[in-house]
A and B are shown apart, each in its own frame.
Chain A
Amino acid sequence: MNNSAIPAVQAADPPTRRRLPRNASLIIGLVLTGIFLLVALASFFYLPSNPNVPDIRHRLLPAGAPGHWLGTDVLGRDIVAQLMVGARTSILVGAGGATLSLLFGTITGLAAAAAGKLTDETISRGADIMLSIPGMVTALVLAATLGSGALTTILALTAFFTPSFTRVIRSAAMGVLQEDFITAARLYGRGRIFVLARHVLPNIAGVMIVQFTLYFAAGILTEAGLSYLGVGVHRPSISWGMMLNEAQQQVGVSSPLAIWPGFAIVLLVLGLNLLGDGLRDVLDPKLSRRRG
């Protein structure tokens, strides 16, 4: 056989493998997110100094001071140590909120897609109602009544994000449920739950991962906002939003202390958003083309 005629056909690799290396968003996103994950992990084993213990003799040191790369705050606490613990909080709260929303959103979304018209109508309208309530205002009330803290913040995030997950997962699952292989599985005698778990879930996993990444980022932004307002996490936990509030209140905006935590938030959120966009290109080409 003469193989020289074939390459034109063989060159068509599976699309996933071919797209991956060219996907700049995915790579930059992975690197940025990876760095912050490593920093957060490292903070459990090593901190330059205790970020909550005041050291009045070394207050407001500039960046580059011996032992304090980025200087110290108004009470002499090391900025690098605070930023490291802040990464931990951001990731914990953001991922916590996104995970719980994914869990509840998957359950309700699948139920809406598969359990009949009445269930669908109830769940979908319920999600619409929850989406029309402004989250920030509700979070203020929630934090004030339940008491602020990481757990309350995660719960607040879950309450805002779940309806979006419900909607996305419902429509993705409905698309899959119309496919022929679902009919085949049904005819084979498979039950509804089996079909959902075995056939629908794997087929919407891509959508779920993308949605998770994007709301992970949104969760970090919201947590920073709530902590900035003083209704998010509190010391001894440390949040970048809280650091920005302290800097603005105690030293004024001209201090470099009002800069570093902001950079950290932007880089991590940017990384996660890029990762989400990149993953969408790989896992869900249809959607990425529609969004341009």
Chain B
Amino acid sequence: MTIYVLRKLAFFVGAVFVASVAIFLLIRGAGGNVAAVVLGKSATPEAINALAHVYGLDRPLPVQYADWISNMLRGDFGRSFRTNESVADLVTARLSISIPLSLSGLILGLLIAIPVGTYAARNVGTPSGAVLALVSQVGVAVPVFWAGILLSLLFGVRLGWLPTGGWTPWSQSVTEALRSLVLPVLSLGLIMAATLIRYVRSAVLDVMNQDYLRTALAVGMTRTQALLHVGLRNAALPLVTIIGLQIAELIGGTVIIETVFSLPGLSRMILANVAAREVIVVQSTVMIIIVFVITVNLLVDLLYGVLDPRVRATR
């Protein structure tokens, strides 16, 4: 187990390093003269150089990279060129939208997918199983932003129950904040569910063909009992992996849904700052997201090793 954990940790460090270099080069390499963009067209060359000097943008790239990373490790994510706000504050403010949104979306997706997927696996070859397969096949083809548009058309415009966009901060009204999250979460959750149903269905089907399920049936359990007692525990393993893989999908979906419903979350902040060439803000924010995803994947791998002794042995 120790070797397994060490290997996973080494991979974690390697992944974070490679990702940080890639993000740094991508943003700096193609970003043009940052100071000139920040100051606008009327800026004199002297002013541009002065600003570049203040933010250390005139130093060689490797020095800037090392500086950025060592600051990040000490918890200093940098500051905005224009407003001088710290990236940590900017990001924290946006997370009060992005985290509830993406987390509830994932949970809703699982709440739908686990029972429906299990039901679909139990009913392979029957009309209801075929209908479910078709529904999830169509669901996978629906872009998340179109789901958002359709839901806001139905519940926002036609029925008038919920806002079609915009955001009321938690501090002003918790109820209003929740109301503005309902449709975004619903869109995200339904689209996640369509993908997850297929995974749950094939995981449960896999389990149903295993020897231990036959044994459970042989000792007198009903099919449903056997699936609940023995099957679900075994199907949980591939599911944990899939949730890990879906985290990147989830973040992608959140980025788009925030735009559909004009929620001032993390992704809107990235879009705005990319346009304004706030390189430090973009670099650090993107890096925070990537580290989060890689951490989730590390935890999934470690959890997998704990749950299934065979994994530790074979990897």
Q: How far is the CA of A25 from the CA of B291 in the complex (A)?
A: 40
Cβ contacts under 8 Å, B29 to chain A: 145
Q: Are A132 and B14 in contact (CB under 8 A)?
A: no
CB of A146 closer than 8 Å to a CB of B: yes
Cβ contacts under 8 Å, A126 to chain B: 18
Interface centre among A217, A224, A262, A292 (most CB of B within 10 A): A292
Q: How far is the CA of A241 from the CA of B271 in the complex (A)?
A: 17
Q: Are B282 and A141 in contact (CB under 8 A)?
A: yes
Q: Which of B57-65, B78-86, B199-207, B303-311 touches A?
A: B199-207
Partner of A253 from the list B152, B202, B255 (CB cut-off 8 Å) is: B152
CB of B73 closer than 8 Å to a CB of A: no
CB of A285 closer than 8 Å to a CB of B: no
Partner of A274 from the list B124, B137, B144, B201 (CB cut-off 8 Å) is: B137
CB of B259 closer than 8 Å to a CB of A: yes
* Residue interface bits A229-267, CB-to-B below 8 A is 1, else 0: 101000000000100100010001110001000100111
Q: Are A254 and B153 in contact (CB under 8 A)?
A: yes
CB of B100 closer than 8 Å to a CB of A: no
* Residue interface bits B259-291, CB-to-A below 8 A is 1, else 0: 110000001001100110000001000100110
Q: Are B19 and A133 in contact (CB under 8 A)?
A: yes
* Residue interface bits A196-225, CB-to-B below 8 A is 1, else 0: 000000000000000000000100010011
Cβ contacts under 8 Å, A291 to chain B: 202
Q: Are A132 and B293 in contact (CB under 8 A)?
A: yes
Partner of B271 from the list A140, A221, A252, A262 (CB cut-off 8 Å) is: A140
Main DSSP-derived SS at the A contact region: helix
Q: Are B270 and A137 in contact (CB under 8 A)?
A: yes
Q: Are A266 and B27 in contact (CB under 8 A)?
A: no
Q: How far is the CA of A229 from the CA of B274 in the complex (A)?
A: 13
Smallest distance from the beta carbon of A248 to chain B beta carbons, Å?
Answer: 6
Q: Are B294 and A144 in contact (CB under 8 A)?
A: no
Q: How far is the CA of A19 from the CA of B251 in the complex (A)?
A: 40
From 128 to 157 in chain A, residues with beta carbon under 8 angstroms from any chain B beta carbon are 128-129, 131-138, 140-142, 144-146
CB of A290 closer than 8 Å to a CB of B: yes
Bin chain A's interface residue count.
35 or more
Partner of B18 from the list A129, A217, A269 (CB cut-off 8 Å) is: A129
Cβ contacts under 8 Å, A165 to chain B: none
CB of A190 closer than 8 Å to a CB of B: no
Cβ contacts under 8 Å, B115 to chain A: none
Cβ contacts under 8 Å, B149 to chain A: 244, 248, 253, 258, 262
Partner of A258 from the list B137, B153, B251, B286 (CB cut-off 8 Å) is: B153
Q: A134-B252, A134-B289 given as contacts; is B146 within 8 A of A265 (CB)? A: yes
Q: How far is the CA of A221 from the CA of B142 in the complex (A)?
A: 8
CB of A228 closer than 8 Å to a CB of B: yes
CB of B69 closer than 8 Å to a CB of A: no
Q: Are A141 and B286 in contact (CB under 8 A)?
A: yes
* Residue interface bits B236-273, CB-to-A below 8 A is 1, else 0: 00000000010110011101100110000001001100
Q: Are A292 and B157 in contact (CB under 8 A)?
A: no
Q: A221-B143, A291-B202 given as contacts; is B156 within 8 A of A128 (CB)? A: no
Smallest distance from the beta carbon of B7 to chain A beta carbons, Å?
Answer: 10
* Residue interface bits B123-159, CB-to-A below 8 A is 1, else 0: 0100000000000011011111110011011001110
Which residue numbers of B lie inside 8 Å of A, CB to CB?
Answer: 11, 14-15, 18-19, 22-23, 26-27, 29-31, 121, 124, 137-138, 140-146, 149-150, 152-153, 156-158, 164, 201-202, 205-206, 245, 247-248, 251-253, 255-256, 259-260, 267, 270-271, 274-275, 282, 286, 289-290, 293-294, 297
Given A136-B252, A262-B150, A266-B146, 15 other A-B residues pairs in contact with their CB atoms under 8 A? A125-B11, A129-B15, A134-B247, A137-B270, A137-B290, A140-B274, A145-B26, A146-B30, A217-B141, A265-B141, A265-B146, A273-B140, A290-B202, A292-B124, A292-B201
4 cross-chain pairs, A with B, having the tightest CB-CB distances, nearest first: A136-B252, A145-B30, A144-B274, A269-B141
